[in-house]
Amino acid sequence: MEAAENFIQQAMDMIIQEAVKKGTNVKEKVCEWRSPEQLKELLDLELKDTGESESKILQCCKDAIRYSVKTSHPRFFNQLFAGMEPHSMVASFIIEAIKTSLYTYEVAPVFTLMEDVVLRTMMELIGWEDGGDGLFNPGGSMSNMYAVNLARYNYCPDFKENGIYSSSRLVMLTSQEAHYSISKAAALLGLGTKNVYVVPSDYRGKMIPSALEEKIQLAKSEGAVPFFVNVTAGTTVFGAFDPIEEIADICEKHNLWLHVDACWGGGALMSKKHKHLLNGIQRVNSVAWNLHKMLMATLQCSAFLVRDKT
């Protein structure tokens, strides 16, 4: 145990120095970029039959950090992560240290209660006065797929038993600026990407409600069944917020499941100044919200929330 403690202590000191201090220092590089060939030369990646000394392992850890992209660096602008949050990082360390899972109360009593409180607070921020349900899952893409799956189940309750053969041609609608995970969900769930009808956006990247209405009519005129609309609150490239209120009116009229992909822009709900961007979110059926983006939690921290508690 003493040896393990000693190794962990040394590793933690190194992590604080290399990943936390240097990784967030504007004077350091975001990444020491190397080609795959160069990196293979620089790093000792091959698995061996013999062990390594702890000092060699610590050096390998240091190199791993050195040649990795520091996404908490102030000059990292690629994915939509927003910097380092020390409390969240410590929480992640605790989770790794006790190595538990969230699937039952029996194995994760504290985290189960915590999850409940956090999800409840998020639902309050969304404005679901009667509450709802939700869970954390591995990424916003997964949340979007859960939304499509639930919407389909809601529309065809016998889908679980009969599979795809029992239903009409189902159509999903989303804007041209939506994240590709919506089409991926159509592919993975067997709906087919051709059945994702793309609704044009305006010059600022917001879905045009009248164009949505037209696409719904088009699907119906073809004998297909529109069942799901995705709006994006904070599109991946433009950061545009689709007009939820107007789209909710259309969905109510046609009895369509409305999902909001607030993976990135959900964080605006925490801001008195910007939360109006999501006006109408309380009317949607489901929400995907990534706390690891604008709210700076460590990866992956993605919530999927659904208004219907049944």
> Which of residues 23, 132, 134, 139 is near ligand PLP by CB under 6 A?
139
201 contacts ligand PLP (rule: CB under 6 A): no
Residue 84 and residue 74: Cα distance in Å, rounded? 9
- Token pair listed for 184: 């991926």
Residue 12 and residue 15: Cα distance in Å, rounded? 5
Q: Give one DSSP letter per residue of 235-298, joined into a string.
A: -TTT--B--HHHHHHHHHHHT-EEEEE-TTGGGGGG-TTTGGGGTTGGG-SEEEEETTSTT-PP
Name which of 132 and 140 has its Cβ closer to ligand PLP.
Answer: 140
147 contacts ligand PLP (rule: CB under 6 A): no
Q: Which stretch binds ligand PLP (CB under 6 A): 42-50, 94-102, 187-195, 260-268?
A: 260-268
232 contacts ligand PLP (rule: CB under 6 A): yes
286 contacts ligand PLP (rule: CB under 6 A): no
Name which of 53 and 78 has its Cβ closer to ligand PLP.
Answer: 78
Give the list of residues 6+ apart from residue 166 with CB closer than 8 angstroms, or none.
Answer: 156, 158, 159
Name which of 78 and 310 has its Cβ closer to ligand PLP.
Answer: 78
CB 250 → ligand PLP: shortest distance, Å?
A: 21
Give the list of residues 6+ apart from residue 307 with CB closer than 8 angstroms, or none.
Answer: 128, 130, 132, 284, 285, 286
- Token pair listed for 306: 């659904």
- Token pair listed for 79: 């994915």
174 contacts ligand PLP (rule: CB under 6 A): no
261 contacts ligand PLP (rule: CB under 6 A): yes
Name which of 201 and 290 has its Cβ closer to ligand PLP.
Answer: 290
277 contacts ligand PLP (rule: CB under 6 A): no
Binding mask 68-87 for ligand PLP (x = CB under 6 A): ------------x-------
Q: Which residues bind ligand PLP (CB under 6 A)?
A: 80, 139-141, 179, 181, 232, 234-236, 261, 263-264, 290, 302
